[in-house]
Chain A
Amino acid sequence: MAVLLVAAAGPLPDGFVEKELMPLLRQHCGKCHLDGKNKGGLAMDGRLALEKGGDTGPVLDSKTPRQGTLARSLSYEGELKMPPTGKLPKEHLDKFMLWIDAGGPLPAGKAPAAKTHASAPADDAKYWAYQPVGPVSPPVVSGNAWARNAVDAFILAKLEKAGLKPNPEADRRTLLRRLSYDLTGLAPTPEEIDAFVGDQATDAWEKQVDRLLASPHYGERWGRHWLDVIRYAETNGYERDGAKPNAWRFRDYVIRSFNADKPFDRLIREMIAGDEVAPEDPDAITATGYYRLGIWDDEPADPLQARFDEFDDFVATTSQAFLGMTMNCARCHDHKIDPIPQADYYRLLAFFRDIPRYSNDRNVMSASSQRDITPLDRRKLYEDELRQRQDLVAKLTADRTVLENTIIKRMGAEDQRASEGPDRPLVLKKLKEFQKGDEGQRLRQLIDSVREMERKPVPSQVFTLAINRCSPRPEPTQVMARGNPHAPGATVEPGFPKALGGATPAIPVADPKAPSAGRRKVLAEWLASPSNPLTARVWVNRIWQHHFGRAIVASSNDFGKYGMPPTHPELLDWLAGELVRQGWKAKPIHRLLLTSSAYRMSSAGRADALAKDPGNNLLWRQPMRRLSAEEVRDSFLQASGRLSLEIGGESVYPPIPAEVLAGQSVPGSGWPVSPPEKSTRRSVYVHVKRSLQLPVLGQFDQADPDSSCPVRYTTTVPAQALGLLNGKFSNEQAGHMAARLGKEAPGDIRAQVARAIRLTTGRIPVAAELDADAAFVKSTVAAGTSETEALRQYCLLALNASEFLYLD
């Protein structure tokens, strides 16, 4: 073997590298860094490879050899500790150091291969999702009688090509039940169904669509979808899982915005940069709570790591929610399959670099994450209150001083003199020994009332969860080797992903006294631009998802190559264009989808269609769906007559069985049970605690809020059956429902049963069904159960039926 020594080599004995070092290198480092292996990016096969270094940069330091990464790792002094299984024995380490001091000479070996990207750039440039949304015209179809609008034309064209017919229209009861749940998450009342079934007008359906789109419960249902996507929760997770004060204002902001049909491009600007685009608008400030909804470690083992985990939460959520891109995959290395280089991750992160940590200590009521949004008309009021309070505090403090001085007068001269200087606190410690009568008590009261007053915001002052105290001149952002914040590399500027043009926008340096860096509004503008190829597609795809069971791009958070290809790409583009043409408003899109023939199809199976397209990829029918977790709970309460339809406000805490609370380290902690009239509010108002779920919501696949949830699971497990049969919630609601039936149809079992079926399914039962269900109640009574209890058991049965828990 030809030995080429590096020029800087010190006095190494002849043959040292070959005979002494190489065997040790093989023994201790070979498994990961020789023979083609390059863990951490480092190969040690030869000089060329070694000089290149690893992911964290060069490993040899020619000027101060002992300060190089290799030397520090081997001596277990640096961030890296090598070999990871344990420090080398001293005699081996000494040999390594000798070699390092000599400059780390090795035979030249092969030059390491340059980094290549998984996919060729030409290929990436053509990838459909990164192309501008082009002008698309609906196709011409022969089945014009069926196609009511452009949506239908797109659907029908594909069906016709496959030789499939769309399903016929569902009956009116089924349709209204589907529509009500889809738009409001609530069942239609029997009276609403009757009104629709009896409506002879040609626009009877359109009237229902408009009525429900105008319902204040629309925002509760559709706001909840969005809350899933942006990982909404009201606690921080981790040990204390502390509450995020005023998080509910964000939830209300979302519901209010959906109800008002606030344009999506406006929502983006408010959530990403509300503090920069409309600092005087309380809604825009509340919207920046977007950044405060994630998990947050109040006691991190590695604060720098935690800081970058917080940024990662922003990058992951923002890229997935708005762009359908999994930028988070590029935190440690280039994306494995999508054209997202690691630098893109940090360029996006740089936009958020001005946002301070959630809190600098364990205090959840942090000035970094709470902001005063007191309305102008109340501001004077609270300023007055504040002044009054200050006056009162001053008076109480004066009283306290007087009282203290009275007591101090009883002390020795030395202490009296000391009390006039900086040593007064020491003197005050002795007060106890000299106070008389109720003086101690009075003193304590004075101190407590001042403390109490200062702790609370004044009554008219309103705070919201938001970002606050952003930095006008953020620290530079660096690409972190292997995602390790302790291994910073090249500095990057805020910039957009390469796949989408890769522009580096010119952002003027903010005034040092500015409230933020002004970067996020640039990001928001870019996200909300009609020319962004992804934003409109991604949002309209989500709207589709919640009306047709599956999105056109089924992986609605991932439009990349790991995701699903669109089933109807032209339709997606046409809808994206339509969204922009409609001023980014969702309700016109809903109306378009809901008034289509496609939406109104029945969900029934058809042998020919099942054979050709069992997955319903071409949409020859509406899919059936189970109610979501919130819909299950709300529907139980609706059927029992107990549902409170109060809108907005602080979150509620319905009771949780003790056996479930027993799983907490302090049972009941963070769950102050609400009174009954609050506990029956809609599920969207139930406090979202990361470490504790309401059983009925958890069992029916409520979103896990630790990260963005684009699509909920639909699981079917025995725990659901146990919960609904034996659980307290379902049994109580069955009791309330039975009482309701007793009132609405007193003394008539058949009428009670009929009403129960209507309330739970909307359907008017047939005679045979009534007979069988009434017979059930009678046989229960015959077996010795009371009539009240028998009816309650029947209600429990009705609330467990598939027909109640499934649409269609």
Chain B
Amino acid sequence: MTQPRQFCGRTRREWLWETGAGFPAAALAGMLGNDFLARQSRAADGSAWTNPMAPKAPGASPKAKSVIFLFMYGGPSHVDTFDHKPDLYPLDGKTIPVKTFGRGGHRNQGRAVGPKWQFQPGGKCGKLVSDLFPNLRNRVDDIAFVHSFHAESPIHGSAMLMMNSGRVLSGFPCLGSWVTYGLGTPNQNLPGFVVMLDRTGGPISGPKNWSSGFMPAAYQGTLLRATGNALNDLNPVLSPADQRRILDRLGQKNHEHLLTRSDNSELSARIASYELAYKMQASAPEAVDFSREDQSTRDLYGIGKGRTDDFGRKCLLARRLVERGTRFIQIYSGGAHNDDNWDAHSDIVRNHEKHAGNTDLPIAGLLTDLKRRGMLDETLVVWGGEFGRQPTAEYAQGTGRDHNAYGFTMWLAGGGIKGGIAHGATDELGSAAVENRYHVKNLHATVLELMGLDPNGLSYFYGGLDQKLVGVEPVEPIRAIMA
């Protein structure tokens, strides 16, 4: 008989799984903590099964246990938010030589648009933050700003894929997929990787942005809503009594079916999955039920205050999910097209006032709440869009700015992050990153490393290659912002 072989450090099991050799991709019996079921189940290769979402020990000591990625879809303007460019103000309206590449193609000059907001210092560190974020300004001592990111594409679709999956091509697993693939998730009654969309809709390319690509679907993001029906297909069509009656009889029938097929772990996993689904019907709405949150907490997030209510609910839900063990949470600010998101092509003031106004208080509230509960140390918060915006106008009229992948700002806070610092720089106009430049892959490496995963080691074998989120070449995390 052939002995189990190693494939590039992978176990035979991983291989069987990929080739569909009958190994159950998600034998869920163990998720219920039912040891009896677990003992009954065997994989097709005779070894005990593992559940892909079962919590796994990280390779190194993790600095964070969960990630909240606040995705500012459309591309916020760094020069109007966190990257102060005093030299740009007086150039307003003047034609200046500057190399840009956006939706409008490559240009060598353009009409400068001065930043439309003033910057004030915040916190003990005195970091300058624009008046778009009066609340967030008070949290800067917990935040590390990186002003020198660059990306490979200034086009939304491919840039979104880049930020989410590390490639401008679709078909690759997202950051959340990699994190849950590497670590599993502690709470099996809730999805491990959740995505909350803007009320105006999903981002460009929709589900490709939370796809598990070539990995099994178990690692794809699950859409969660902070109001109404929390998960797709979560609301029972039947009355609780009717549903319980069906599940009981279904369980009997499936057990009878299993009786003569007890060596097939998929079947016991299936039985378990129905009980798990049943529990999710209770646990997901419980996570979304804010009735036990006191008024001061709701106020902190701006819930019930008009424009901040929607994003505030999502931020509060994110905190509640972190408490319940969810591994990776992504919240979109902005959806659909044009000014429904941060894509300010015509009027930067109207656009950014709207989106910053909707999110400033909730995000500040989230950081405050996480900190006062002692959760910020174990939660990594990431803020940013798929790219930034240009210092020059896109059109002959108006204050709109085109996309800028040459330089933009993102910030991180919480688990493993050194607060109160700003790192890297763009040039004096904010047109391109020039000092301590970082590719999006460096951000991904940072997140993986802080979660206790080796960015250059975590791999998944597909298409003849050990695929990695950061690609073939080794990529360094951003050590300068790590505590």
Chain A interface residues (CB < 8 Å from chain B): 39, 81, 84-87, 162, 237-241, 295, 297, 299-302, 309, 316, 320, 326, 328-329, 332, 335-336, 338, 549-551, 554-558, 560, 562-565, 567, 603-605, 610, 612-618, 623-626, 657, 659-660, 662-667, 690-693, 695, 698-699, 701, 704, 706-708, 711-723, 725-727, 731, 772-773, 776, 779-780, 783, 785, 793, 796-797, 800-803, 805-806
Contact B157 A238 (CB under 8 A): yes
Residue B1 CB within 8 A of the other chain = yes
Contact B238 A299 (CB under 8 A): no
How far in angstroms is the closest Cβ of chain B from A280? 36
* Interface positions of B from 186 to 207, Cβ below 8 Å from A: 197, 201-207
Do A690 and B273 contact each other (CB < 8 Å), given the known contacts A615-B44, A663-B223, A704-B214?
no
Contact A615 B45 (CB under 8 A): yes
How far in angstroms is the closest Cβ of chain B from A323? 12
Contact A698 B437 (CB under 8 A): no
**Residues in chain A near residue B465, CB distance under 8 A:** 326, 329, 336
Main DSSP-derived SS at the A contact region: loop
Closest 5 CB pairs of A and B: A614-B46, A326-B464, A706-B171, A239-B157, A301-B153
User: What's the Cα separation between A651 and B12 when bound, in Å?
Assistant: 40
Contact A659 B229 (CB under 8 A): yes
**Of B157, B211, B237, which contacts A726 at CB under 8 A?**
B237
User: What's the Cα separation between A162 and B15 when bound, in Å?
Assistant: 24
Residue B290 CB within 8 A of the other chain = no
**Residues in chain A near residue B197, CB distance under 8 A:** 662-663
Minimal Cβ-Cβ distance residue in A for B427: A87
> Using an 8 Å CB-CB cutoff, how does the interface string of B172-197 with A read, 1 for contact, 0 for none?
00000000000000000000000001
**Residues in chain B near residue A617, CB distance under 8 A:** 1-2
Do A731 and B170 contact each other (CB < 8 Å), given the known contacts A666-B201, A772-B252, A773-B249?
no
Contact B201 A667 (CB under 8 A): yes
Contact A726 B154 (CB under 8 A): no
User: What's the Cα separation between A718 and B1 when bound, in Å?
Assistant: 35
Do A86 and B231 contact each other (CB < 8 Å), given the known contacts A663-B206, A698-B217, A806-B267?
no
Give the contact stretch, choosing among B24-32, B291-299, B346-354, B452-460. Answer: B24-32
User: What's the Cα separation between A328 and B462 when bound, in Å?
Assistant: 12
Contact B1 A722 (CB under 8 A): no
How far in angstroms is the closest Cβ of chain A from B74? 11
**Residues in chain A near residue B273, CB distance under 8 A:** 716-718, 720-721
**Residues in chain B near residue A692, CB distance under 8 A:** 206-207
Residue B266 CB within 8 A of the other chain = yes
Give the contact stretch, choosing among B257-265, B313-321, B413-421. Answer: B257-265
Contact A86 B437 (CB under 8 A): yes
How far in angstroms is the closest Cβ of chain A from B97? 15
Contact A162 B1 (CB under 8 A): yes
Contact A725 B243 (CB under 8 A): yes
Contact A801 B253 (CB under 8 A): yes
How far in angstroms is the closest Cβ of chain B from A159? 11
* Interface positions of B from 372 to 408, Cβ below 8 Å from A: 405
Do A301 and B168 contact each other (CB < 8 Å), given the known contacts A86-B433, A718-B28?
yes
Minimal Cβ-Cβ distance residue in B for A338: B464
User: What's the Cα separation between A558 and B19 when bound, in Å?
Assistant: 11
How far in angstroms is the closest Cβ of chain A from B338? 10
**Of B148, B156, B277, B472, which contacts A239 at CB under 8 A?**
B156
User: What's the Cα separation between A240 and B206 when bound, in Å?
Assistant: 10
Q: What are 25 inter-chain pairs, A to B, with CB distance below 8 A?
A: A86-B435, A162-B1, A239-B155, A239-B204, A295-B169, A295-B170, A297-B168, A309-B169, A603-B261, A613-B1, A615-B46, A617-B1, A662-B202, A665-B336, A665-B337, A690-B170, A704-B214, A711-B20, A714-B20, A726-B233, A726-B235, A726-B236, A731-B237, A783-B245, A793-B238
**Residues in chain B near residue A704, CB distance under 8 A:** 171, 211, 213-214
User: What's the Cα separation between A776 and B267 when bound, in Å?
Assistant: 23
**Of B157, B211, B266, B472, which contacts A716 at CB under 8 A?**
B266
Contact A605 B472 (CB under 8 A): no
Residue B327 CB within 8 A of the other chain = no
**Residues in chain A near residue B243, CB distance under 8 A:** 725
User: What's the Cα separation between A238 and B201 when bound, in Å?
Assistant: 17
User: What's the Cα separation between A725 and B245 when bound, in Å?
Assistant: 12
User: What's the Cα separation between A711 and B424 when bound, in Å?
Assistant: 45
Contact A725 B207 (CB under 8 A): no
**Of A85, A567, A727, A779, which contacts B233 at CB under 8 A?**
A727
How far in angstroms is the closest Cβ of chain A from B133? 26
Residue B461 CB within 8 A of the other chain = yes
**Residues in chain A near residue B15, CB distance under 8 A:** 554-555, 564
Contact A802 B258 (CB under 8 A): yes
Contact B233 A719 (CB under 8 A): yes
User: What's the Cα separation between A616 and B16 when bound, in Å?
Assistant: 12
User: What's the Cα separation between A717 and B269 when bound, in Å?
Assistant: 8
User: What's the Cα separation between A663 and B224 when bound, in Å?
Assistant: 11
User: What's the Cα separation between A300 and B154 when bound, in Å?
Assistant: 9
- Given A605-B262, A691-B208, 11 more A-B residue pairs with CB atoms under 8 Å apart are A237-B208, A239-B155, A299-B157, A302-B153, A336-B465, A550-B22, A562-B461, A617-B1, A665-B336, A725-B233, A802-B257
Do A718 and B280 contact each other (CB < 8 Å), given the known contacts A329-B465, A664-B201?
yes
